[in-house]
Amino acid sequence: MDLSLVSIGVMCADVTVRPVDTLDMPPKGSLFLVDGMELHMGGLASVSATVFSQLGGRAGVIGRLGQDSFGDYMLNNLEKEGVTTTGIRRDPDNPTSATVVIVDAQGERTFLHQMGANAHVSEEDIDWDFLKQAKILHWGGPGITPKLEGEAMGRILKKARAMGILTSMDTCYDGQGIWYPLIEEALPHLDIVFSSLEEACLYTGKDSPESIAEFFRSFGAKIVVIKLGAEGMYLTDGAEALRIPAHKVEVVDGTGAGDAACGAFLYGHDQGWSLERCGRLANAVGALTVQHMGGAEAITSLEDTLAFMEQAS
């Protein structure tokens, strides 16, 4: 079975609570009522693969889930969305990663994250016979996949490239404040880099989308996509640089929108689309995602997404 995309890295169950203004958190020992509390599939690797599949591509995931109810939930939902899960290991010793996502009335999020099984994903989890089916290897999660960071991911990406596989990375917020050393060894072996502006500034020490893109491209990246939130995105392949404005939509929950946008961009790239069309699809998927709770449940089909993309342009 050939796969266009294999994602490796973060998979987690998101318990989303909204609306909650973190400035008005209740005192200890009291009760605070909220309008909504839901369970959703989250994680950079799983959301990107799911959206890729929802748009019509063939995607798989490599990573770890615990032998618990959250792990069952994640596995069942990935399979329901058509994602190939034979690269997933069920870890009997560590719980499935989970995040409590506190969403305020404007859709901004605060995260309480347990790394769980994601903290133990390593080179040894890669079935190279499984991976060699792929055209793209996407790493979702520097910052919360400690056994992949540094030299390990450098070796993995280098080997994948030697097999003719295109490589990409989407950064995550580093709660330990290490930043650049986590991705340093990976940079020479990446074809596409995705990052939010806030994260990219911290990983690179640069302060603008243009200087960030130049930094990543200096290591050999062919395409750099900087996610600008409500301002859309900046992307460049060296030959052209584009700023694509965000769609004006009501934001319900921004969780996973950037991960979903990565999956959409990679789908377009796999189809041979232009840089601009890939970016427009990614923007559209991000806009659809923020109008729903969770990061992997807004996309119904490629046709519906393209219709929204053209109508909202």
Q: How far apart are CA 24 and CA 307, in angstroms?
A: 40
Reduced to 3 states (helix: H, G, I; strand: E, B; else coil), residue 72 is helix
Q: How far apart are CA 247 and CA 309, in angstroms?
A: 9
Q: How far apart are CA 216 and CA 193, in angstroms?
A: 7
Number of H helices, E strands in the chain: 10, 13
Residue pLDDT, tens place only, 234-287: 999 999 999 999 999 998 888 899 999 999 999 999 999 999 999 999 999 999
Helix (H) or strand (E) holding 284: helix 275-290
Residue pLDDT, tens place only, 38-57: 999 999 999 999 999 999 99
Q: What is the pLDDT of residue 25?
A: 74
Q: What is the pLDDT of residue 106?
A: 78
Strands (E) across the chain are located at: 5-9, 12-18, 36-42, 59-66, 84-91, 98-103, 109-114, 136-140, 166-170, 192-196, 223-227, 233-236, 241-244
What are the residue ranges in the chain where pLDDT is below 50?
Answer: none
Evaluate whether 157 touches 189 at the Cβ level (below 8 Å).
Answer: yes
Q: What is the pLDDT of residue 313?
A: 63
Q: What is the pLDDT of residue 293?
A: 82
Residues 6 or more apart in contact with residue 18 via CB below 8 angstroms:
34, 35, 36, 102, 103, 104, 105, 252, 253, 293
Q: What is the pLDDT of residue 46?
A: 97
Q: What is the pLDDT of residue 32?
A: 84
Can you list the domains of the chain with their CATH numbers?
Answer: 5-19+37-191+253-304 (3.40.1190.20)
Reduced to 3 states (helix: H, G, I; strand: E, B; else coil), residue 71 is helix
pTM above 0.85, yes or no: yes
Percent of the chain with pLDDT over 90: 82
